[in-house]
Amino acid sequence: MSEKNREETLGLTLTALLKARSLSMRKLSSLTGIDTASISRIISGKQKAKLNHLETFAFHLGVPTAQLFQAAGFDITMPQPEGHSDIYTSISSVQKILQSSNLIDHLFTAELVQKELIKYEQYALTEEGRQIIIDDFPSKVASVNGAGPFIDGLKQMYLQFCENDNTSQRRALLGSALLYFVMSADLIPDYVFPLGYLDDAIAVQLVLDRLNQSDN
């Protein structure tokens, strides 16, 4: 779909939704906090809608976010490599998907995930960090409802984290992945389905790699 066609499709979709809900652009502006001029430019195709625009519009217009993503021409399908279903086999392929989908403003890299994990390592050794993991991990896993094979890895990490005979280094590494998942400080927002949990999956893989290195 060409850029022009994407903008026209989104504009027509938003116009139809506003009409169906008897809303003016001014009223939508009041609901969303997005100024009326920006909404007008997005609908007319003079301004490209950002990810947060689409999410906010979808919430206040009562439609799935994916519907507006599709109307805006975003390709958020995730191709599976031949012979593999592993969600974190290739960090470079994840980066290519994100770049082609144009959903993330900044460059997504494994280094960014690693930096976030390092921030959580010391926190995982505190009583507050430990309590967050113990209390919040089960409910967060339940809310994901099997979003990816990395969930099995996280469940194993959780069980290992709860063991009493861990070294401080091992507990910090395990806790960093669990806190990254629980606290939702995602580099890719969870609502960007099906890409939203890929950074969590990569976080799991990075921690597993470090655990394997420390065990050898």
Is it the case that residue 57 has pLDDT exceeding 50?
yes
User: What is the rounded CA–CA span in Å between residue 7 and residue 106?
Assistant: 22
pLDDT per residue over 164-175, tens digit each? 888 999 999 999
User: What is the rounded CA–CA span in Å between residue 177 and residue 197?
Assistant: 13
Pick 199 or 105 by higher pLDDT.
199
In the structure encoding, which two tokens stand for residue 100, read together? 């082609």
User: What is the rounded CA–CA span in Å between residue 1 and residue 173?
Assistant: 44
User: Taking residues 69-96, what's their average pLDDT?
Assistant: 53
Please, where are the H alpha helices in the chain?
A: 3-20, 25-32, 36-44, 51-61, 65-71, 91-101, 110-124, 127-144, 150-161, 168-183, 198-215
Is it the case that residue 3 has pLDDT exceeding 90?
no
Q: Is the pTM of this model over 0.95?
A: no
Q: How high is the pLDDT of residue 183?
A: 84
User: Taking residues 43-63, what's their average pLDDT?
Assistant: 85
pLDDT per residue over 131-165, tens digit each? 999 999 998 888 765 555 678 888 889 999 999 88
Pick 39 or 89 by higher pLDDT.
39
Least-confidence region, from 53-67, 150-164, 192-206: 192-206
Q: How high is the pLDDT of residue 202?
A: 78
- Give every CB contact of residue 74 below 8 A, 6+ residues apart in sequence: 101, 102, 103
State the pLDDT confidence band at 187, using cuts at 50, 70 and 90: low
State the pLDDT confidence band at 84, using cuts at 50, 70 and 90: very low
Range 53-59 contact pairs with CB under 8 angstroms and sequence separation of 24 or more: 55/189, 55/191, 56/32, 57/14, 57/28, 57/32
Nearest to 131 by CA among 119, 123, 121: 123
The position carrying tokens 């809608």 is 49
User: Taking residues 10-31, what's their average pLDDT?
Assistant: 92
User: What is the rounded CA–CA span in Å between residue 69 and residue 10?
Assistant: 9
Under 8 Å between Cβ of 99 and 216: no
State the pLDDT confidence band at 51, using cuts at 50, 70 and 90: confident
In the structure encoding, which two tokens stand for residue 61, read together? 């217009």
Percent of the chain with pLDDT over 70: 70
